[in-house]
Amino acid sequence: MLCEECKKRPASVHLTKIVNNQRSELHLCEECARKKGEIHFTFEPSFSINNLLAGLLNSETGYSLPVSHPEADDRCPNCGLRYSDFRQIGRVGCSECYREFAAKMQPLLRRIHGSSKHLGKVPRRSGKKMLRRREIDRLREELAECVQREEYERAAQIRDKIKGLERGSD
Protein backbone atom coordinates (compact mmCIF):
# COMPACT_ATOMS: atom_id res chain seq x y z
CA MET A 1 0.00 0.00 0.00
CA LEU A 2 1.37 3.40 -0.97
CA CYS A 3 1.35 6.52 1.18
CA GLU A 4 -1.91 8.44 0.69
CA GLU A 5 -0.05 11.77 0.88
CA CYS A 6 2.95 11.46 -1.44
CA LYS A 7 1.85 8.33 -3.36
CA LYS A 8 5.53 7.33 -3.68
CA ARG A 9 6.74 5.48 -0.61
CA PRO A 10 5.12 2.48 1.10
CA ALA A 11 2.74 3.37 3.93
CA SER A 12 4.19 2.22 7.24
CA VAL A 13 2.10 4.40 9.56
CA HIS A 14 -1.57 3.48 9.76
CA LEU A 15 -3.75 5.83 11.78
CA THR A 16 -7.36 5.24 12.68
CA LYS A 17 -9.29 8.13 14.18
CA ILE A 18 -12.81 7.96 15.54
CA VAL A 19 -14.47 11.33 16.06
CA ASN A 20 -18.21 11.57 16.79
CA ASN A 21 -18.58 7.88 15.86
CA GLN A 22 -17.07 8.61 12.42
CA ARG A 23 -14.10 6.41 11.60
CA SER A 24 -11.36 7.66 9.30
CA GLU A 25 -8.17 5.86 8.31
CA LEU A 26 -4.96 7.41 7.10
CA HIS A 27 -2.04 5.45 5.65
CA LEU A 28 1.22 7.39 5.49
CA CYS A 29 4.92 6.82 5.05
CA GLU A 30 7.18 7.82 7.95
CA GLU A 31 8.31 11.02 6.25
CA CYS A 32 4.77 12.27 5.51
CA ALA A 33 3.64 11.31 9.01
CA ARG A 34 6.46 13.46 10.43
CA LYS A 35 5.55 16.37 8.16
CA LYS A 36 1.86 16.19 9.11
CA GLY A 37 2.82 15.99 12.77
CA GLU A 38 0.66 12.91 13.24
CA ILE A 39 3.33 10.91 14.98
CA HIS A 40 6.76 11.46 16.49
CA PHE A 41 9.37 8.79 16.07
CA THR A 42 11.97 8.21 18.73
CA PHE A 43 14.82 5.78 18.87
CA GLU A 44 14.45 5.03 22.56
CA PRO A 45 11.43 3.16 23.91
CA SER A 46 9.13 5.66 25.57
CA PHE A 47 6.62 3.14 26.91
CA SER A 48 7.11 1.64 30.32
CA ILE A 49 4.78 0.18 32.90
CA ASN A 50 5.86 2.93 35.27
CA ASN A 51 4.73 5.59 32.78
CA LEU A 52 1.44 3.74 32.35
CA LEU A 53 0.79 3.61 36.10
CA ALA A 54 1.85 7.22 36.54
CA GLY A 55 -0.55 8.16 33.75
CA LEU A 56 -3.37 6.30 35.46
CA LEU A 57 -2.59 8.01 38.73
CA ASN A 58 -2.56 11.44 37.13
CA SER A 59 -5.53 10.76 34.85
CA GLU A 60 -7.81 13.71 34.23
CA THR A 61 -10.77 11.51 33.31
CA GLY A 62 -12.38 11.60 36.74
CA TYR A 63 -10.64 8.42 37.87
CA SER A 64 -7.59 9.99 39.45
CA LEU A 65 -6.65 9.24 42.99
CA PRO A 66 -6.92 11.90 45.68
CA VAL A 67 -4.19 14.51 45.44
CA SER A 68 -2.21 15.04 48.60
CA HIS A 69 -1.12 18.45 49.75
CA PRO A 70 2.66 18.68 50.19
CA GLU A 71 2.40 19.50 53.90
CA ALA A 72 0.10 16.51 54.52
CA ASP A 73 1.85 14.15 52.09
CA ASP A 74 2.13 10.61 53.41
CA ARG A 75 5.65 9.25 53.64
CA CYS A 76 6.71 5.62 53.86
CA PRO A 77 8.39 5.05 57.23
CA ASN A 78 10.72 2.45 55.72
CA CYS A 79 12.09 4.01 52.52
CA GLY A 80 10.91 7.62 52.85
CA LEU A 81 9.02 7.68 49.53
CA ARG A 82 6.24 10.28 49.51
CA TYR A 83 2.86 9.53 48.00
CA SER A 84 3.31 12.43 45.58
CA ASP A 85 6.55 10.78 44.36
CA PHE A 86 4.69 7.51 43.86
CA ARG A 87 2.08 9.38 41.80
CA GLN A 88 4.84 10.81 39.61
CA ILE A 89 6.97 7.73 39.03
CA GLY A 90 4.22 5.09 39.23
CA ARG A 91 6.37 2.77 41.33
CA VAL A 92 6.58 2.13 45.07
CA GLY A 93 9.90 2.17 46.89
CA CYS A 94 9.49 -0.91 49.09
CA SER A 95 6.94 -3.41 50.41
CA GLU A 96 6.03 -1.07 53.30
CA CYS A 97 4.76 1.50 50.77
CA TYR A 98 1.82 -0.82 50.02
CA ARG A 99 0.75 -0.70 53.66
CA GLU A 100 1.34 3.02 54.04
CA PHE A 101 -0.49 4.02 50.84
CA ALA A 102 -3.08 1.20 50.91
CA ALA A 103 -6.18 3.40 51.22
CA LYS A 104 -5.10 5.59 48.31
CA MET A 105 -3.99 2.65 46.13
CA GLN A 106 -7.18 0.57 46.47
CA PRO A 107 -9.15 2.40 43.71
CA LEU A 108 -6.20 2.16 41.32
CA LEU A 109 -5.73 -1.58 41.90
CA ARG A 110 -9.45 -2.24 41.44
CA ARG A 111 -9.43 -0.29 38.19
CA ILE A 112 -6.36 -2.04 36.79
CA HIS A 113 -6.98 -5.61 37.99
CA GLY A 114 -10.72 -5.66 38.67
CA SER A 115 -9.98 -6.48 42.29
CA SER A 116 -7.67 -5.22 44.98
CA LYS A 117 -6.92 -8.77 46.14
CA HIS A 118 -4.40 -10.89 44.23
CA LEU A 119 -5.68 -14.38 43.56
CA GLY A 120 -3.16 -15.70 41.05
CA LYS A 121 -3.63 -18.73 38.85
CA VAL A 122 -4.68 -22.18 39.96
CA PRO A 123 -3.04 -25.35 38.57
CA ARG A 124 -5.57 -27.47 36.68
CA ARG A 125 -4.57 -30.85 38.10
CA SER A 126 -3.85 -30.07 41.73
CA GLY A 127 -5.88 -26.90 42.18
CA LYS A 128 -9.26 -28.44 43.04
CA LYS A 129 -8.82 -27.95 46.79
CA MET A 130 -7.77 -24.36 46.28
CA LEU A 131 -10.73 -23.66 44.00
CA ARG A 132 -13.11 -25.22 46.53
CA ARG A 133 -11.58 -23.09 49.33
CA ARG A 134 -12.04 -19.94 47.23
CA GLU A 135 -15.65 -20.84 46.50
CA ILE A 136 -16.31 -21.44 50.20
CA ASP A 137 -14.74 -18.06 51.07
CA ARG A 138 -16.83 -16.33 48.39
CA LEU A 139 -20.00 -18.02 49.65
CA ARG A 140 -19.23 -17.01 53.25
CA GLU A 141 -18.97 -13.38 52.16
CA GLU A 142 -22.26 -13.71 50.27
CA LEU A 143 -23.83 -15.37 53.34
CA ALA A 144 -22.80 -12.45 55.54
CA GLU A 145 -24.31 -10.00 53.05
CA CYS A 146 -27.59 -11.95 52.95
CA VAL A 147 -27.82 -11.99 56.75
CA GLN A 148 -27.12 -8.27 56.85
CA ARG A 149 -29.91 -7.66 54.29
CA GLU A 150 -32.14 -10.07 56.27
CA GLU A 151 -32.54 -12.45 53.32
CA TYR A 152 -32.69 -15.51 55.51
CA GLU A 153 -34.02 -18.00 52.94
CA ARG A 154 -31.17 -17.22 50.55
CA ALA A 155 -28.75 -17.33 53.50
CA ALA A 156 -29.96 -20.83 54.40
CA GLN A 157 -29.39 -21.99 50.80
CA ILE A 158 -25.88 -20.58 50.83
CA ARG A 159 -25.18 -22.16 54.25
CA ASP A 160 -26.21 -25.55 52.86
CA LYS A 161 -23.95 -25.07 49.82
CA ILE A 162 -21.03 -24.27 52.12
CA LYS A 163 -21.67 -27.38 54.22
CA GLY A 164 -21.80 -29.51 51.06
CA LEU A 165 -18.52 -28.09 49.78
CA GLU A 166 -16.86 -28.58 53.18
CA ARG A 167 -18.00 -32.20 53.34
CA GLY A 168 -16.53 -32.80 49.88
CA SER A 169 -13.17 -31.35 50.89
CA ASP A 170 -12.40 -33.95 53.55
Instruction: Return the pLDDT at 73.
Output: 65
Domain assignment of residue 120, yes or no: no
158 and 104 part of one domain: no
Asked whether residue 53 falls in the same domain as residue 104, the answer is: yes
What range does the domain containing 148 cover? 128-169
Same domain membership, residue 54 and residue 100: yes
Residues 17 and 55 both lie in one domain: no
In a domain? residue 107: yes
Confidence of residue 51 (pLDDT cuts 50, 70, 90): low
Average pLDDT value over all residues in the chain: 77
Residue 103 within a domain: yes
Is 156 a residue whose pLDDT tops 90?
yes
3-state helix, strand, coil in the chain (%, to 5): 50, 10, 40
Judge whether 118 lies within some domain: no
Is-contact 105 117, C-beta < 8 A?
no
Q: Average pLDDT in the 11-29 region?
A: 84
What pLDDT does 64 receive? 42
Q: What is the mean pLDDT of residues 123-143?
A: 84
Number of structural domains the chain divides into: 3
In a domain, 1, yes or no: yes
Res. 66: pLDDT tops 50: no
**69 in a domain, yes or no?**
yes
In a domain, 119, yes or no: no
Within a 13 Å sphere around the CA of 103, how many CA atoms are in the beta-carbon half?
5
